A and B are shown apart, each in its own frame.
Chain A
Amino acid sequence: MSTPRNALGRRAFLANALVVTFASSRHALAQDQDKKLPQSLARTPELDAWIRVGADGTITVFTGKAELGQGIRTALTQVAAHELAVSPGQIDLVTADTARTPDEGVTAGSHSMQDSGTAILNAAANVRALLAEAASWQFAIAPSRIEMRDGAAHAPDGRQIGYGDLAASLSLEVEVKLDMPRRHGGKPVIGQNLPRLDIPAKVSGGEAYVQDMRLPGMLHARVVRGPSDGTRVKAADIAAVGKMPGVVKIVRDGAFMAVVADQEWRAVKALNRVQAGGWERPSPPIPAADLRETIHRLPAQDVPIFDYPGPAPPADARSIRVRYSRPHLMHGSIGPSCAMALWENDGMTVWTHSQGVYPLRKALAELLKLDLEKVRCIHVEGSGCYGHNGADDVAADAALAARAVPGSPVRLQWMREQEHGWEPLGSAMVVEMAAELDGNKVASWRHDVWSNTHSTRPRTAGGLLAGGEVDPPFVPPRPGPIPMPEGGGGRNGNPIYALPNAHGVFHFVEQMPVRVSALRGLGAQMNVFAIESFMDELAFATDNDPVAFRLAWLKDERAREVVQRAADRFDWRRRGAGGGGSGTGFAFARYKNLASYCAVAMEVRVDGDSGEIHVPRVVAAVDSGEAVNPDGIRNQIEGGIVQSLSWTTREAVAFDKTHRTSFDWSGYPILRFPSVPGRIDVEVIDRPKQPFLGAGEAAQGPASAALANAVAHALGMRLRDMPLSPERVKAALRPAPVATKQAAG
């Protein structure tokens, strides 16, 4: 662009120029579908909704996404700092707050970098360009000759103007323009291992979580419920509880009940006193202790998830058909869900660790019968959630309690047993796989998956626990299948392999015997477990090396590289023969076939006496597009692998007819230090200038399948039902009962 020097005011000119360029970009948008605004920007295109530059040079960046311990605060700060050419320390990042930040829905599905990262990258590029243009007026030189760095515009002759001064002459009340060139040259911030900004407070006892919030005059509350979903406490001597020392209020609305006290321990004591009245189950009984069979049998709506064409297999094709399954799983946050709520001036403010402050606000407004503007939800970090846990429900509980004590902030935290008993579980799943083999080629492929919904996230009051308890109760929304390509139960059911004549169906089971919702990866962990186990079974059936077999069907170049790198780093070619309790396994997936690529190679040793699986070594390779913070990606992948090993080797929610019996860590054990792998080694493959891809849910599926494949290699037999618990391993090692032996002759 040349430097205009006419009499027009700079502002007027800029405004005009922006209008013009914006108009042309709109035009371009209509013509070119590929250039459409990324989702978050389409919803909130105003630049100043994302970035503001203060007169003193401070830069505030707004994101609708929330820090969940995945390091998004740091990564987004890096993106903004990089594009704005400032140090990360100059950026103040404001996360999800209905009064301040854009509405970016829920922080889930490994979307944050893709959505918010891309939005902020674009917004920052816009702001930098505007600042440079403003500087070009002041310096009277072409913008291309101006260097933007360290929060100032620099002219070649040494003159400089700070961003604050430039911003004073600039309005950011404009819409974001696409295709702004990315910054080039200068010190990069993207791609650096910037230490996580949230960690210092977390290792020093700083105020880091909503659980740590203290407001003046704060009261403590506990919600009263039966032991798990579908139950309720029986009437207790409420009057006596009300007289307990420190009890300020007993809040009741229909079946909803909470105790509010001056001190937290007193609220706990009051809660236990109410619970002593016993409980009952008004809901229908839970059909079976192992619900996967139930879910496999219930009526289902069949939703096709993929159809890859191909010639019909020959008549003499060999066919293989197997079934895999997983039980209900718990999110199991280490910190029980917690919220702070304040009812003041006819408005409700809730500090919450919900993954979606905007949807929560809508549900709360309906529950409290308030206008949307009267409810404000502010995200404050909580303990890791791994999906839809008790965060939203506890926010509603706190809000109802706070409304009963106007002017006093109320902190309400669930007890451990409430988190275990009431959090919506990850659905049990069953997958049937079938294939036909023509010689050693796959001639057909069939994937059938059964499960309940994978999201009952609250968007209305009926989606909140308390919503179903108040009088009159709100009706829970009817769940439906999430469409592909994201998918719910069908997520990652479509194989990335270029298989001929392949078809998949999601058998969506509407009826939920127990409360379920989104758990990290939704259906992906199960589908990848099934596909990647099945690939190994087919490789075995065709006498192929599992890695070579995968590569033979893998056309995506990035996928191939990830597989190859993991195999090389693991030294797959020199792996042992397997058997005798020692084995190696490999698995790969691209999350949703849209996000990160991740391959995992694993070594196991199975102790035949105890049935325990030891994991001496894990190697993973991951491609998340342009790596904003490689160590952050590594952290996510390491964590995903360990969590997945816990799911796959020991976790299963247990029930009896009346309730969940996995009520604490003794009833739902998770992996502890003595059982974690000897080593985990993660290679991050950087793809500069490629779109950011989320990595938070990339590792779970491949890690589960790599484990199952390694165990099959070690034992010479395959376990297809999760968890691969010591009991299952030992049972598998035992010969069938004598009766079968005789039958087998």
Chain B
Amino acid sequence: MITLTVNGQAHQVDVDPDTPLLYVLRNDLELNAAKFGCGLGQCGACTVLLDDKPVFSCLVPVAALGARKVRTLEGLPKTLPAAFEAEQAAQCGYCIAGMIVRAQALLERNPRPTEKEMRTHMAPNLCRCGTHMRILRAVRRAAEAMGGGVREEARIGAEEK
């Protein structure tokens, strides 16, 4: 039996200790948000917060968690999800839960990121549908709703010209 704390609640699970957290969240705790995308730390579909850092849950063995706290989309405040709904920021939506979790980590640490900081921060997460523009809009909207905001407009390739 392994004990872990997810969204403020302690759980006991009966799995092999090397089982990556992602499988425990999905199959044992029946939390759907974190998704299997690659299992290789390349796509971010499985992103959760470990203490305050966004991590790939597909690469964290459940036994490695110790007392550290896991937060998934299900346990986050509703500001970002509401902003994603307001911006209709999804096509297939498979990447979206990971996107929201990663954005949450950014806004908790830095409520007023620059456009460039936001884009760099979101870089580990892939979206194949091309929903990027809406995802960025949703993060901007949420930042404002939280009393912060994204500084300056996107100026792509405009530096030094």
Chain A positions near chain B (C-beta within 8 angstroms): 68-71, 195-196, 198-200, 202-209, 211-212, 214, 220, 245, 263-266, 268, 331-336, 381-384, 386, 413, 415-416, 582, 604-605, 607, 614-616, 631-632, 635-636, 638-643, 646, 664-666, 670-674, 676-680
Q: Complex Cα distance A646/B158, Å? A: 20
State whether the Cβ of B63 lies closer than 8 Å to any Cβ in chain A.
no
Which chain A residue shows the least CB distance to B138?
A203
Which chain A residue shows the least CB distance to B118?
A673
In contact, B156 and A605 (Cβ under 8 angstroms) = yes
Contact sample, A vs B, 18 pairs, CB 8 Å cutoff: A69-B129, A70-B91, A203-B73, A203-B85, A203-B97, A205-B97, A208-B93, A211-B36, A214-B27, A220-B27, A264-B27, A334-B35, A382-B92, A615-B157, A616-B158, A672-B123, A673-B123, A678-B158
Q: Complex Cα distance A678/B90, Å? A: 19
In contact, A207 and B133 (Cβ under 8 angstroms) = no
In contact, A332 and B128 (Cβ under 8 angstroms) = yes
Contacts of A211 in B (CB 8 A): 35-36, 94
Of B27, B45, B154, the residue contacting A334 (CB under 8 A) is: B45
Of B38, B132, B157, the residue contacting A673 (CB under 8 A) is: B132
In contact, A334 and B37 (Cβ under 8 angstroms) = yes
Of B16, B27, B72, B96, the residue contacting A203 (CB under 8 A) is: B96
In contact, A416 and B39 (Cβ under 8 angstroms) = yes
Q: Complex Cα distance A198/B91, Å? A: 9
In contact, A674 and B119 (Cβ under 8 angstroms) = yes
In contact, A664 and B40 (Cβ under 8 angstroms) = yes
In contact, B92 and A605 (Cβ under 8 angstroms) = no
Minimum C-beta distance from B61 to chain A (A): 10
Chain B positions near chain A (C-beta within 8 angstroms): 15-16, 18-20, 23, 26-27, 30-33, 35-40, 42-43, 45, 72-74, 81, 84-85, 88-97, 100, 119-120, 122-123, 125-134, 136, 153-158, 161
Of B23, B94, B156, the residue contacting A384 (CB under 8 A) is: B94
Minimum C-beta distance from A87 to chain B (A): 19
Which one of B33, B92, B93, B131 has the greatest number of beta carbons of chain A within 10 Å?
B92
In contact, B128 and A208 (Cβ under 8 angstroms) = no
In contact, B38 and A416 (Cβ under 8 angstroms) = yes
In contact, B85 and A674 (Cβ under 8 angstroms) = no
In contact, B74 and A205 (Cβ under 8 angstroms) = yes
Contacts of A643 in B (CB 8 A): 128-130
The 9 residue pairs across chains A and B that have the minimum distance between CB atoms: A614-B157, A69-B92, A642-B130, A205-B33, A202-B93, A384-B92, A605-B157, A639-B130, A383-B94
Task: Decide yes or no: A205 and B31 within 8 Å by CB, A384-B94, A605-B157 being known contacts.
Answer: yes
In contact, A207 and B32 (Cβ under 8 angstroms) = yes
In contact, A635 and B134 (Cβ under 8 angstroms) = yes
In contact, B136 and A673 (Cβ under 8 angstroms) = yes
Task: Decide yes or no: A198 and B88 within 8 Å by CB, A265-B20, A335-B36 being known contacts.
Answer: no
In contact, A666 and B130 (Cβ under 8 angstroms) = no
Contacts of A665 in B (CB 8 A): 38, 40, 42-43, 126
Contacts of B128 in A (CB 8 A): 331-334, 383-384, 386, 643, 670
In contact, A266 and B16 (Cβ under 8 angstroms) = yes
Which one of A199, A204, A672 has the greatest number of beta carbons of chain B within 10 Å?
A204
Q: Complex Cα distance A674/B120, Å? A: 6
Q: Complex Cα distance A200/B132, Å? A: 18
Total residue contacts A-B, CB cutoff 8 A: 201
In contact, A639 and B136 (Cβ under 8 angstroms) = no
Q: Complex Cα distance A413/B123, Å? A: 26
Minimum C-beta distance from B89 to chain A (A): 8
Task: Decide yes or no: A635 and B91 within 8 Å by CB, A205-B72, A265-B23, A336-B36 being known contacts.
Answer: yes
In contact, A196 and B88 (Cβ under 8 angstroms) = yes
Q: Complex Cα distance A265/B39, Å? A: 11
Minimum C-beta distance from A509 to chain B (A): 28
Which one of B27, B39, B95, B130 has the greatest number of beta carbons of chain A within 10 Å?
B130
Minimum C-beta distance from A413 to chain B (A): 7
Which chain A residue shows the least CB distance to B130?
A642
Of B27, B91, B120, B126, the residue contacting A69 (CB under 8 A) is: B91
Contacts of A605 in B (CB 8 A): 156-158, 161
Contacts of B130 in A (CB 8 A): 638-643, 646, 671
Q: Complex Cα distance A614/B24, Å? A: 41
Task: Decide yes or no: A639 and B85 within 8 Å by CB, A205-B72, A214-B30 being known contacts.
Answer: no
In contact, B40 and A199 (Cβ under 8 angstroms) = no
Task: Decide yes or no: A638 and B134 within 8 Å by CB, A211-B36, A335-B94 being known contacts.
Answer: yes
In contact, A673 and B161 (Cβ under 8 angstroms) = no
In contact, B94 and A679 (Cβ under 8 angstroms) = no
In contact, B43 and A199 (Cβ under 8 angstroms) = no
Which chain A residue shows the least CB distance to B45?
A334
Which one of B26, B133, B134 has the greatest number of beta carbons of chain A within 10 Å?
B133
Q: Complex Cα distance A200/B89, Å? A: 11
Minimum C-beta distance from A340 to chain B (A): 13
In contact, A381 and B92 (Cβ under 8 angstroms) = yes
Of B45, B73, B88, B122, the residue contacting A335 (CB under 8 A) is: B45
Q: Complex Cα distance A265/B43, Å? A: 19
Minimum C-beta distance from B150 to chain A (A): 13
Of A70, A200, A677, the residue contacting B156 (CB under 8 A) is: A677
Contacts of A383 in B (CB 8 A): 92, 94, 128
Contacts of B133 in A (CB 8 A): 638, 642, 676-677, 679-680
Q: Complex Cα distance A199/B85, Å? A: 7
In contact, B100 and A203 (Cβ under 8 angstroms) = yes
In contact, B88 and A635 (Cβ under 8 angstroms) = yes
Q: Complex Cα distance A230/B66, Å? A: 44
Which chain B residue shows the least CB distance to A634?
B88
Of A331, A607, A635, A664, the residue contacting B38 (CB under 8 A) is: A664
Which chain A residue shows the least CB distance to B81?
A203
Which chain A residue shows the least CB distance to B91?
A69
Of A204, A616, A639, A673, the residue contacting B91 (CB under 8 A) is: A639
Task: Decide yes or no: A208 and B32 within 8 Å by CB, A69-B129, A203-B93, A673-B136 being known contacts.
Answer: yes
Q: Complex Cα distance A344/B13, Å? A: 30
In contact, A679 and B93 (Cβ under 8 angstroms) = no
Task: Decide yes or no: A199 and B93 within 8 Å by CB, A638-B134, A641-B130 being known contacts.
Answer: yes
Task: Decide yes or no: A334 and B126 within 8 Å by CB, A205-B31, A605-B157, A680-B133 being known contacts.
Answer: yes
Minimum C-beta distance from A244 to chain B (A): 11
Q: Complex Cα distance A640/B92, Å? A: 13
Minimum C-beta distance from A218 to chain B (A): 9
Q: Complex Cα distance A203/B155, Å? A: 29
Which chain B residue shows the least CB distance to A617?
B156
Task: Decide yes or no: A203 and B90 within 8 Å by CB, A264-B23, A265-B15, A672-B123 being known contacts.
Answer: yes
